[in-house]
Amino acid sequence: MKQLGILDSAFINLEQANTPQHVGGLGIYDPSTADGGLVRFKQVIATFERRLNQHPSFRTRLVSVPGGLDRPYWIKDANFDVEFHLRHIALPEPGDWRQLCIQVARLHSRPLDMSRPLWEAYIVEGLDNIPNLPEGCFAVYTKMHHALVDGAGSASFMTLLHDLVATPQESTDQQPEPRLVDNEPTMTELLTNASVNGVKNALSVLGATIKNTRALGKYAIQVSRKEIAAPDFSTPKTILNKPVGPHRVFDAAEFPLAGFKEIKEAAGVKLNDVALTVIGGALQRYLESKNEAPDGSLGASMPLNMRTRRQTTDENNQVGAVFSSLHSDEKDPLARLTAVHSSTQEAKEVGEASPLVDVFKLAGAFSPLITQAAAGLWSRHNLSKYVPANTSTVVSNVAGPDFPLYFAGARMVDYYGLGVLTPGIGVFHLVFSYSGKLSLSVLADRDIMPDPEFYHDCLVSTYEELHAATVALHKPAKTTSSRKVSAKPKSGSKKRLTKTGTKPKAKTKTKRKSRSKTAPQPKVNSTSKASTESSRSPKARKSAKAKAPASKIVKIARTTAKKRSAGELASKSKSRAGRRRAFTAAPKLKVVADNT
C-alpha cells in the first residue's frame, strides 16, 4: 500500500464530470509483420498481461480515506482482470479517418471507473478506408489517469508494451513471478493514518508556505529590478476560453519530420519552436475564419518534465508548467518563428526559477475534502472567466523513437496523443515524433471547436506557408551568383549568358514545382532576363549590379504569401487532406476475435 504524492493526488482532486483527468494515445498497426500476417485478440490479451507484470502500478486501484480527510492510497488489486480493461470494437462502414476520430473522441470523453485500476484499452478494427495505411490495419486506443502517468510516464508505458523486433525471443525457462496483492485497509486504519498525517501535512504545508513566500518575494524583487523578465499573462480571452463541457472532438495532422528539421536548422531554432509557430498560426487562422481573432497574441501553457531539472521522486507525476506567447498576431511566418523561439527560451529560463512552475501542486497540498469541493465550485460556476491570466491552449511535446516499434508482432505505423482539458482551456495539442514522422494532435471541447476538420486544414496550410517561406529565403543564393557572373562582358560571356538564361531557368522551375508557395516564376525569370540583357552595355551593367535580386525574390515570396487569402489556403489544404483521406479498397482487419 502506498499513499499518493501531492502532485498525483492533485489530478485525483481535479477530476470532474466535464473535465476528466486522463490522458490517451492512439496507435495504428500493420499486422502483416506478425506471424501469419494476422493478430488474434487472444494475442493482444496475452501481450498486455505479460507486460503489465513488469509494471505493477497498472494493477493498482485507489482507496479513498473516509470523508476525504487525507490523500488516497494505491493498493494492488486482488481482483484485477486484464480482460475487463481490454475492449474489442469496430468502426461502422465505410471506416474512414473521420469515423475513427469521432470514435476516439467519444471514448476519451468518458471518465474512467475510479473503483478499478485507472486505465483502459480499446482494439479498433474496420479501418478500411483510411488512406496511406497498409491493408488490414487496426488501432489501439489507450487511456490512463493522469495520477498514474504524466507525459514522460505515458511514453514509458508505450515502450513497455512494444518490442524492437516483430518476433522477440521469449525466455522459455523463466517462471512467472507470483502476483502480490495488498489487503484492503480498514476504516480504522485509514482514519488513524489520517490523524497522524494531518499533523504532518499541517507542518509540511506551513513549511512549504514559508518557503514559497520567500521564493515569491525573491522572484518579485528580481522582476522589479529587471534581472529576469516578468511572465506574460496578457493573453486576450477568446472563444477558446469558453466553459468546457463533457463532449470532445479529435483530429490530427501528420507531417514529415524532415520538413520540420529543415525549418529548424535553417532558422537556428528548436523543433518545439517550429511546432508552436505552426500551432499559433493555425489558431489565428481558425479564429479569423470565425471573426473572433483577438487584438493581441494568443498564449500557450507548456508542461515541463521536471525529472531532468530536479531531483527525481517516487511520484508518478513530476511535471511543471511554463507560459509563452505564440505571437499569433505576427503575419510573417519567419518573424513569428523568431519571436516564438525568443519567448520559449525566456519562458524556460525564467519559469524554471519561478515558484509558479509548481502551481499544480496547490490542488494536492490540501485534503481532498477541501480541494475537491473547491474544484467542483470552480467548474460549475466557470470562475476561470474572472482570472486575468489567460491561456489559449496547452501544448505538450513528447519525443518518440526514430525507429519502428512492434506490438504483438504488428508494426506501429502512426501514433497520436490526447491530453486533458481544464476549465477555461478548451484546446489541447500534443506534438509527437516517431520513425520519420511528426504528428500534431488536437483535442478540443465540441462546442468550442465544432469543426476539427477545418482546423486540421489550418494546421496544414500554416506549415506549408512556413516551409515555403523558409525555402524561399535560402534558395536565391545560387541565382545571385549566376547573375553576377552573367554581368561580366568578357570574351566568354556568350557561354555564360547561355547558362544563365536557359539552364537555371529550367532548373528553378523543376525545383519549385512541388513548392506551391514559392515566388511567382514569371517574376524570377524576368529578373534573370533583365540581368542577361544588362550585360550588353556598361551602363546597363552598372545598373544591374546595383540591384539586389536575392532580397527581391524573398520580398516577392513574402508578399505573395501575405496576399493569399485564408480561403485560398484552406481550399488548397483541404484538397490535400482529401487526397490523404481518399477512399481506398482494403479488406477488413485481420484481428480475429476467437477463443481458440
Amino acid letter, 472: A
Question: Backbone phi, then psi, for 419, in 5-degree steps?
Answer: -115, -150
Cell numbers placing 411: 508494426
Could you give the C-alpha distances from 575 to 203, 254, 256, 484, 566, in angstroms and in order?
Answer: 62, 15, 18, 41, 14
Residue 356 CB partners (closer than 8 Å, separation 6+): 231
Measured CA to CA, the distance from residue 145 to residue 20 in angstroms comes to: 9
* DSSP element (H, E) containing 119: strand 119-125
Does 108 participate in catalysis according to the annotation? no
Amino acid letter, 420: V
- The answer to whether 26 touches 418, Cβ cutoff 8 Å, is yes
- The answer to whether 334 touches 281, Cβ cutoff 8 Å, is no
Q: Which of 22, 85, 146, 429 is labelled catalytic?
A: 146
> From the CB of residue 211, how many other CB atoms can be counted at a distance below 10 Å?
11
Tell which residue, 283, 289, 275, 253, has the closest CA to residue 568: 289
The distance from CA 201 to its chain's CA centroid, rounded to whole angstroms, is: 36
DSSP annotation of 419 reads -
> What is the SS3 string spanning 385-399?
HHCCCCCCEEEEEEE
Tell which residue, 519, 507, 439, has the closest CA to residue 474: 519
- The answer to whether 323 touches 357, Cβ cutoff 8 Å, is no
> What is the SS3 string spanning 149-202?
CCHHHHHHHHHHHCECCCCCCCCCCCCCCCCCCCCCCCHHHHHHHHHHHHHHHH
Burial 244-261 (b: 16+ CB within 10 A, else e): bbeebbbbbbbbebebbe
Alpha-helical regions (H) of 127-170:
151-161
Dump the DSSP string for 345-371.
HHHHHHHHHSGGGGGGGHHHHS-HHHH
Tell which residue, 164, 140, 120, has the closest CA to residue 43: 140
Could you give the C-alpha distances from 180 to 1, 53, 316, in angstroms and in order?
Answer: 11, 10, 20
Measured CA to CA, the distance from residue 390 to residue 299 in angstroms comes to: 8
251 bridge partner residues: 442
Q: In what order do the strands lie in the sheet with 319-325?
A: 248-256, 437-445, 427-434, 393-399, 299-305, 319-325
- The answer to whether 234 touches 296, Cβ cutoff 8 Å, is yes
Measured CA to CA, the distance from residue 5 to residue 517 in angstroms comes to: 51
Measured CA to CA, the distance from residue 348 to residue 18 in angstroms comes to: 31
Cell numbers placing 43: 494475442
Cell numbers placing 103: 470514435
Give 578-581 contacts, CB < 8 A, sequence gap 24+: 579/131, 580/97, 580/131, 580/132, 581/96, 581/97, 581/98, 581/130, 581/131
3-state secondary structure (DSSP) of residue 70: coil
Catalytically active residues are 146
